[in-house]
Amino acid sequence: MQEGITLVSRESAYIKNKPTSSEGDAWVIDFPDAEERLIYGYGNGKKRILSILKCLRDRQLQQEGGAVITNYHLKTLVLFEGEKHYHESEWQENCYVDRINSILMQLIACLQSHQCVHYLQSSVDLFKDINKRAMGITAKAAWSVVRAIAMDECCWEDF
């Protein structure tokens, strides 16, 4: 391992359920340490936002048939948001509503386009195997959350 990148056998239990771009290869590249550093390495803001998003997903975006949005999808969206807002001050508590709203809008765009690009491997679509109808339903639910936040920033108590 060098700089947060790991070469892992496709047969390992660790990689079985992770998305990859190289269907026929025996080895895949994994980035757990690099991703962890980007999320958790600079203060607690991104970590807290990710935690809030997971809670919103569990309470507002889950479907009876199971989860469309995984923790990894949310982590990926937080990483992309981190590119746009790279100053630590933009991840302070007074900016949480803006960050969450922006990430939810990214999520809706991904769900509507049926594509969520991996942060470190742009050729990997994290939504490749997700049912398009389920993505549409989840997008509508995410819009409801965005509207609730826009109408009343104190709506967090309802979630």
Residue 12 lies in a domain: no
Quote the pTM value. Answer: 0.80
Would you state the structure tokens that stand for residue 114, as one six-digit string? 């049926």
- Model pLDDT, residue 14: 47
Considering the domain boundaries, does residue 85 fall inside one? yes
Count structural domains, the chain.
Answer: 1
The CATH number for 81's domain is 1.10.1410.40
Assess if residue 153 is contained within a domain: yes
Is the per-residue pLDDT at 98 higher than 70? yes
Summarised one tens digit per residue, pLDDT across range 66-78 is: 789 999 999 999 9
In a domain, 8, yes or no: no
Q: Containing H/E element for 27?
A: strand 27-30
Domain assignment of residue 47, yes or no: yes
Q: Which residues constitute the domain of residue 89? A: 43-158
Q: pLDDT digits over 114-129, tens only?
A: 999 999 889 999 999 9
C-beta of residue 104 within 8 angstroms of C-beta of residue 142: yes
Report yes or no on 69 lying in a domain: yes
How does the average pLDDT of the chain come out, rounded? 84
| Backbone phi and psi for residue 156, each to the nearest 5 degrees, phi listed first | -55, -30
| 152: in domain | yes
Q: Is the pLDDT of residue 86 over 80?
A: yes
Tell me whether residue 26 is in a domain. no
**Both tokens of residue 147?**
């509207």
Both tokens of residue 34?
Answer: 């690099």
pLDDT at 65: 73
Mean pLDDT of 136-148: 95
**pLDDT of 9-60, one tens digit each?**
656 654 555 555 555 566 666 666 777 778 877 789 999 999 999 999 999 9
User: Could you tell me the pLDDT band of residue 1, with boundaries at 50, 70 and 90?
Assistant: very low
Q: Which residue has the higher pLDDT, 63 or 135?
A: 135
20 versus 94: the higher-pLDDT residue is 94
| pLDDT of the residue at 84 | 96
Identify the pLDDT of residue 28.
66
Short-list 41, 26, 60, CA closest to 158: 60
